[in-house]
Amino acid sequence: MGLTYRTYLEGSRVFGCSKCRTHLSTTESIISKAFQGQHGRAYLFDNVVNVEEGPSEDRHMTTGLHTVKDISCSRCRAVLGWKYEKAYEQSQRYKEGRYILEKQLLCEESLTIKPLSDGKLLTHFQFSIQLEGAAREGARFNHYNLFPRAIGQIVQQYSARELHLTFTQGRWEYEKWGYPLSFSAGTGVELWAWLWKNEKLDDNWKSLTNALAGLFCASLNFIDETKTVQPQLSFRPEGPHNDTELFDSAELRSGSLPHENVCTENLTPWIKLLPCKSTAGIASLLNGHELYNSNFHSMSINVRPICQDSECTHQKLEILQTLSTVINPVRNKEIRGIVERFIGFSDWSLNELYSRKISRACPLAKESNLLLIIPEEGDFEIMPEADQVIKGETVNQNIAIYDLKKDPHNLELSMKWNESQFTYDNQVILPRVFAHRYFSGYGQERGGIKVNIFNKSPDLTIPIVYYDVIPWYLKLYLHTLKVKINGVEVNSKSKDYPIKDLYYQPAVDRSRPAVIEALIHLPSNSITTLSILFDKVFLKYTEHPPDPNRGFDVGPAVITVISSNEAEDNQKKAEGYGLPTPDFSMPYNVITLTCTVLALFFGSMFNLLTRQFVGLLTLNDEKIDEGKQDENKDIVDRKNEGTEKQILSEDK
Amino acid sequence: MSTAIETKTRRRDLVFGIAFITRILLFQFSEITNVLASRVEVVTPVTSFTRLTEGLYLFQNGVPPYDGGVFHQAPLLLAFFQPLSYLPDQFTSLTYILVDLLLGYLLSQISRTKEQLYKDLPRVDDIELIDDNKSEGENEEPSWVVAGLYLFNPLTIATCLSKSTITFTNLAIALGTFYSLKGGIMAVFKSYPSIGDASFYLGFLPIYSEIVKYMRYNFFTTNIFLYSSVLAPIFYHLWIYAGSGNANFFYAITLVYSVGNIILLVDATFAMLRREFDVWNPKLRYSEVMQR
């Protein structure tokens, strides 16, 4: 490679390469700003410098057939647009020899792979598409560019400021895997959104859940008022905001469906939102068979405003789609050993993981990277060599970066461990804050919830927000809330009481769940235990799901760590529990038997109250009564009928 | 004659004293009171003391107690228990004991007032006036028996120990009855029946002791009550905890319990009508009587 000459331009405004800032052209060279590129707005320039031209090819464009050459930056080789060689229609001849530069491609994709301490492998796909001028209240979307129209229309129609939707299956194991790469969510579906305040806000929320239900083939429309909550302390917007402006203009709604299963019918519409679908780029790895053959997977859509410049005077709207899976290569590669029953290896390659290959980078993406977080210890070999190695979060951590734009063809990344069999590492570095939630008690009448929150920091008191939504069919008793630190109960009047702020919304039968939000200061190196008791409710027989004996699912609790730099960690766990089930043939029994008992009561009572008592006299007894004969109004002589008795009645 | 009245007063004091001590002693066993306070037969969602405590706790912490599906009881109870919540738990137990004793006292007073009112009404001579020679004081049905039968009814004791607020409802009814002297089917067809209802109207039965003599199914009814009070907890356990029986078991036993109540009620009605017949037809005392 020889020296590359670079020309530096002067002018009122210089256009540069979006990636490496190399000068390309000036405003004076613009012929037209009204061009539509492949991925959005494009400008036609008279002259452009520092570009390399690709081979000629014929393209059918909206204005007819043209022969064009792609142009790329001479420094970083990013594709910038194209040069018109020949136009076949007379009216388009003016373009010949001129250049199209597309406005910045606002799309990025990355795949992060992280070997975990227990031999499993975290793969985290992330796609980001940005749209300018759409992050305001009531903003009209004039051009969607790469931004998925289906989502854009929903955000616009139902006045959403932020929107977060997550489909998760499985449980993220904090003690083994550390913190996830994006905010995790509990099993099932979770939706939360900040909606612009207006008189239709609750209608908008209802419509939003219905629209998303249709879009993702999920039961999101079941998030009705019995499942909708308005958290007070948790779920702050991810985008830039200040609190007073936020609470004046927007409200939070949140809901989850812990019972919802996630499968390919949810994945397909999710993939459809990507600019290249699954035909190119890292999305071509998304193979449903392998994704759902995993210990954990979580798929999300986050629509949020982000800063366009460092002062944040302008904001743009970003849609961030992430998909995390934890795959177990040790299990997948198990073979029958001689001494022990099975031997596993933690070796893996991309092809083995997904049974697919990355053919080429998504041409619409500005950046397309594959990142491998290299384990700090161990004897292993990574193939092929990385394009670049950068420092990670900790001192010893290195991240290998593979630029798919640069080397698009058949990247077959693999990692081989020099070991005869995988051995589990018991020396796990625990995350700073983690928690366990349990249901206590037995039987189907009452129970309790117990949460152990661990703070492993040796010297820091960590403030957290504990958030828990309990369905109405578990009746909580707030007066039974007890707090223990390291097993010793703390009185609520003591100054060591860790709950600094408590927000409680009692449940209302069949209309809203109970919500507990507590600001808790976790003392350093401690276990804080919260416990609360509840009664289980007898549901109507029609309120049971089709599989009542499986029980009901309670959504996960969320722990938000408020750290000094405002970074937050969410931890969630979902639990299942059983409610008393009726015998579903019972309504018939109940109706017939209860009616019988009622009839018994009515019949006997009616009989008593309407009939009179009469005395039965034998004829021999008649003389006793002779003196009083005149008082008796009704004497019936039954001699003729052969009886020897007279019936004597008395009026009261 | 004065000694007879003294004996009566002493007996009454004895009944109330023993009832008080029994309850105080039983309240010391927190296992018993905890179990009773959570039994479905004893407390219902509208009378549960746990729910009253929750309502009080929410009220004291600025959460509207009725804004939620937990607390359904009268605001008066909230106001009444508000000051009690600042005192030790023993005062709450004491309140329940005193209210229960007051109920017993009211029943005995109702019984006495009823005797006064019925004094001039005709009676069935040879059954009810058999002790004509005895003094007037002894001739009346001793009112302490009524109070004793209420206070030592196991159902009453269980209800009191469970701190069910039905005690207060019953107190209101007793006060109402006492001041108007008019009588209560509610207990049989209530949507959330509990033994507190039964124990209260069973307390009224001895007041009409003359009716009891005319009842036909006393043995049968007693057995139904015993049978259902043994089997109901067992069937509930089978359904809710053991999982070896289904809801039909418990439903069936509640049905038996209500059949028992119905038979008691119908039998009492029969006894009342039959006695009236005898009162108005003394001549037919020894002849066969039937309904027509």
Does residue A567 register a pLDDT over 70? Answer: no
Please state, in angstroms and rounded to a whole number, the distance separating the CA atoms of residues B205 and B218. 12
Q: Are residues A165 and A202 in the same domain?
A: yes
Q: Are residues A438 and A558 in the same domain?
A: yes
Please state which of the ranges B16-25, B69-78, B189-198 shows the lowest mean pLDDT. B189-198
Q: Are residues B53 and B101 in the same domain?
A: yes
Range of the domain at A623: 587-649
Q: Are residues A251 and A391 in the same domain?
A: yes
Does residue A635 register a pLDDT over 70? Answer: no
Q: Are residues A573 and A613 in the same domain?
A: no
Residues of B in contact with A599 (CB under 8 A): none
Task: Please check whether residue A427 lies inside any domain of the structure.
Answer: no
Does residue A579 register a pLDDT over 70? Answer: no
Whether ipTM exceeds 0.85: no
Q: Is the Cβ pair A582, B63 closer than 8 Å?
A: no
Q: Are residues A40 and A180 in the same domain?
A: no
Instruction: Using pLDDT thresholds of 50, 70 and 90, give the confidence band for residue A639.
Output: very low
Q: Are residues A135 and A185 in the same domain?
A: yes
Q: Mean pLDDT for chain B?
A: 82
Q: Is the Cβ pair B265, A506 closer than 8 Å?
A: no
Q: Rounded to 5 degrees, what are φ and ψ at A636? A: -115, 125
Domain termination residue (choose one: A522, A547, A577): A577
Coil, helix or strand at residue A296: strand
Instruction: Using pLDDT thresholds of 50, 70 and 90, give the confidence band for residue A629.
Output: very low
Domain termination residue (choose one: A417, A444, A470): A417
Instruction: Using pLDDT thresholds of 50, 70 and 90, give the confidence band for residue B243.
Output: confident
Residue B2 sits at the chain A interface (C-beta within 8 Å): no
Q: Are residues B28 and B95 in the same domain?
A: yes
**Alpha helical stretches, state H, A273-361:** 288-291, 329-332, 350-354
Higher pLDDT, B186 or A424: A424
Average pLDDT over residues B87-92: 86
pLDDT of residue A641: 40
Average pLDDT over residues B252-280: 89
Q: Are residues A480 and A399 in the same domain?
A: no
Find the helix or strand (DSSP H, E) in which A405 lies. Answer: none
Q: Is the Cβ pair A604, B40 closer than 8 Å?
A: no
- Convert B100-109 to b/e letters by CB count within 10 Å (16 or more is b): bbebbbbbbe
3-state secondary structure labels for all residues of A469-525: EECCCEEEEEEEEEEEECCEECCCCCCCCCEEEEEEECCECCCECEEEEEEEEECCC
Which of A475, A609, A649 is opposite residue B70, by nearest beta carbon? A475
Q: What is the pLDDT of residues B94-139, one digit of tens each?
A: 999 999 999 888 888 888 888 777 777 776 655 555 444 444 444 4
Q: Are residues A573 and A600 in the same domain?
A: no
Does residue B167 register a pLDDT over 90? Answer: no
* CB within 8 Å of chain A, chain B residues 239-268: 239-241, 246-248, 251-252, 255, 258-259, 262, 265-266
Higher pLDDT, B153 or A624: B153
Domain termination residue (choose one: B187, B206, B225): B206
Q: What is the pLDDT of residues B208-237, one digit of tens each?
A: 878 888 888 989 999 999 999 899 999 988
Whether residue B282 is preceded by a cis peptide bond, meaning omega within 30 degrees of 0, is no
Residues of B in contact with A594 (CB under 8 A): 255
DSSP state of A2: -
Please state, in angstroms and rounded to a whole number, the distance separating the CA atoms of residues A104 and A80. 8
Domain termination residue (choose one: B206, B227, B243): B206
Average pLDDT over residues B245-274: 89
Task: Please check whether residue A5 lies inside any domain of the structure.
Answer: no
Q: Is the Cβ pair B290, A504 closer than 8 Å?
A: no
Q: What is the pLDDT of residues A215-252, one digit of tens each?
A: 999 999 999 988 999 988 888 888 788 888 888 899 99
Q: Are residues A51 and A119 in the same domain?
A: no
CB atoms under 10 Å from CB of A430, counted, come to 12
Q: Are residues B158 and B14 in the same domain?
A: yes
Q: Are residues B189 and B245 in the same domain?
A: no
CB atoms under 10 Å from CB of B130, counted, come to 11
**Inter-residue contact A514 to A426 (CB < 8 Å):** no
Q: Mean pLDDT for chain A?
A: 81
Task: Please check whether residue A599 lies inside any domain of the structure.
Answer: yes
Q: Is the Cβ pair A506, B240 closer than 8 Å?
A: no
Average pLDDT over residues A577-597: 74
Higher pLDDT, B182 or A196: A196
Task: Please check whether residue A258 lies inside any domain of the structure.
Answer: yes
Instruction: Using pLDDT thresholds of 50, 70 and 90, give the confidence band for residue A106.
Output: low
Which of A444, A506, A601 is opposite residue B70, by nearest beta carbon? A506
Q: Are residues B117 and B192 in the same domain?
A: yes
Q: What is the pLDDT of residues A516-565, one digit of tens each?
A: 999 999 999 999 999 999 988 888 888 888 777 777 888 888 888 876 54
CATH code, domain carrying A29: 2.170.150.20
pLDDT of residue B62: 84
Dihedral over Cα of A349, A350, A354, A358: its sign: negative
What's the start-to-end Cα distance of chain A, in Å? 127
Please state, in angstroms and as integers, the Cα–Cα distance from residue A242 to each residue in A236, A237, A248, B260, following that order.
11, 10, 10, 68
Q: What is the pLDDT of residues B271-282, one digit of tens each?
A: 988 888 888 887
CATH code, domain carrying A511: 2.60.40.740
Instruction: Using pLDDT thresholds of 50, 70 and 90, give the confidence band for residue A642.
Output: very low
Q: Are residues A565 and A593 in the same domain?
A: no
**Inter-residue contact A466 to A573 (CB < 8 Å):** no
Domain termination residue (choose one: B178, B206, B234): B206
Tally of domains in chain A: 4
CB atoms under 10 Å from CB of A18, counted, come to 19
A403: buried, middle or exposed (CB in 10 Å: 19+, 13-18, 0-12)? middle
Q: Rounded to 5 degrees, what are φ and ψ at A164? A: -135, 125
Task: Please check whether residue A1 lies inside any domain of the structure.
Answer: no
Task: Please check whether residue A8 lies inside any domain of the structure.
Answer: no
- B-chain residue closest to A616, CA distance: B288
Task: Please check whether residue A117 lies inside any domain of the structure.
Answer: yes
Task: Please check whether residue A582 lies inside any domain of the structure.
Answer: no
pLDDT of residue A531: 94
Tally of domains in chain B: 2
Locate A84 and state its tokens: 């018109």
Q: Are residues A169 and A297 in the same domain?
A: yes
Q: What is the pLDDT of residues A314-340, one digit of tens each?
A: 778 889 999 999 998 887 776 665 555
Contacts of A93 (CB under 8 A, 6+ apart): A87
Q: Is the Cβ pair B69, A583 closer than 8 Å?
A: no
Q: Are residues A312 and A189 in the same domain?
A: yes
Does residue A166 register a pLDDT over 80? Answer: yes
Does residue A126 register a pLDDT over 90? Answer: yes
Domain termination residue (choose one: A69, A102, A135): A102
Range of the domain at B136: 2-206
Q: Are residues B199 and B236 in the same domain?
A: no
Does residue A174 register a pLDDT over 60? Answer: yes
